[in-house]
Amino acid sequence: MARMDRGVISDIELRTPAGRLIVGVFVVILVLFGAAFIFPFLFAFTAGLKTSTEIFKPGLHLWPENPNWGNYLEAWNRFNMVNMFKNTAIAAIGGAIGQLIVSALAAFSLSRLKPAGKRVIEAILLITLAIPGVAYLVPRYVILANLPIINVSLINQFAGLWIPYAANAMTILILKNSFDQIPKDLYEAAAVDGASDLRMFVSFTLPLSTPILIILGLLGFIGFWGDYLLPLLILRDPALQTISVRLISLTRIFGANLHLAASFIAMLPPAIAAIFLQRYIRGGISF
C-alpha cells in the first residue's frame, strides 16, 4: 500500500510545475516568518556583545565590530542573576503547578460531577475572560495585603503570587472541554468496580490528559516568568523580586549593553523549556 503524506498538496500535484511553485511560495513565506520571529532574539544576543554607544548607533548593525563576550559574564555577576533566576523559578513553577491543580479539579467537577448551576458557572467564567486583568489589579492587591477573616498580609510572600496565578478561567474551560472528550464508558466501568470520583480523576482522567496538561503548564510557566505588574506590587523587597521586575529597576544603574545581555539570559529558560517539550506541545494542540 502506498504511503500518503499529509501536506498542503498531494504527492501527485507535487510532481507538476504548478505544485512545485506552490511549495516554493510556501517555503519562502515560512522562511520570512521564521526570520521575523528569530530577528529579535538575534538582535538581543548581539546587542549584549556591543558597547552602549554601538547599540544606539544609527543604521542596522547586527554584529558588533569587536564582540565583547565578557559583557555576559559581567551582566551575570553584577545583576546577581542567580538570585533573580531562583526567585523567578519559585514564582513561575509554583504558579504553574497551582494553576494546573486548581484548574484540573474545577474542570473535572464541571465535566464529571455536573454541579447545580453548571451553565451559570461556565457563563461566569466566560464573562471573566472579557475583563482586562488591569481592572482587578488594585482590588487583588488590597485583598492580598490583608486577607479577609485571617488578617494576614501576603506582601513580600511568594504565596501572594501563587494564589492569583492559580485561578485562571481559560485554563479551566480548556481542561473542561478536554475532559468532556474522554469516553463516558470508562467512568461507568470504573463506577461499577466501586471507584470513587477522586480515584477516577487520579487514575485515568489526568493520565489521559497528560499532553494538554503539559502544554497548559508550559504556557503558564512562560507567562508567569515574564509577568511584571503583579510581582512589582507584591514583591517589594529587592531580594525577592523576579527577573522581569529587577531588570527594569536596574536599567538606570548599568549600561544598555549589560541590560540587554541580562535580558537575553533571562529569555533562555522558557525558550529551552519550549524546545525540549515541543513534542508534548504538538500533542497537546492536537488533543
Query: Tens of pLDDT along 181-197?
Result: 888 888 888 888 888 88
Q: Residue 262 and residue 223: Cα distance in Å, rounded?
A: 19
Task: Please give the pLDDT value at position 13.
Answer: 66
Task: Please give the pLDDT value at position 270.
Answer: 85
Q: What is the mean pLDDT of the segment spanning 104-109?
A: 92
For residues 160 and 144, the answer to whether their CB atoms sit within 8 Å is: yes
Question: 42-56, 119-133, 166-180, 218-232: which range is least confident on average?
Answer: 42-56
| 129 vs 14, residue with greater confidence | 129
Nearest Cα neighbor of 94 from 280, 201, 234 is 234
- The torsion of the CA quartet 181, 182, 183, 187, rounded to 10 degrees, works out to -140
- Give yes or no for residue 287 having a pLDDT over 70: no
- Give yes or no for residue 100 having a pLDDT over 70: yes
Task: Please give the pLDDT value at position 248.
Answer: 83
- Give yes or no for residue 28 having a pLDDT over 60: yes
Q: Residue 259 and residue 48: Cα distance in Å, rounded?
A: 8
Task: Please give the pLDDT value at position 286.
Answer: 59
Q: Residue 217 and residue 94: Cα distance in Å, rounded?
A: 11
Question: Which of the four pLDDT bands, split at 50, 70 and 90, describes residue 94?
Answer: very high
Q: Residue 174 and residue 274: Cα distance in Å, rounded?
A: 20
Rg (CA), the chain: 24
Task: Please give the pLDDT value at position 89.
Answer: 94
- Give yes or no for residue 203 having a pLDDT over 80: yes
Domain boundaries, the chain: 11-74, 81-286
Task: Please give the pLDDT value at position 283.
Answer: 60
Question: How confident is the model over 40-93, as pLDDT tens digits?
Answer: 888 888 888 888 777 777 777 778 878 888 888 888 888 888 999 999 999 999
Question: Which of the four pLDDT bands, split at 50, 70 and 90, describes residue 2?
Answer: very low
- Give yes or no for residue 33 having a pLDDT over 60: yes
- Any idea which architecture 81-286 has in CATH? Orthogonal Bundle (1.10)
- The torsion of the CA quartet 113, 119, 121, 124, rounded to 10 degrees, works out to 160
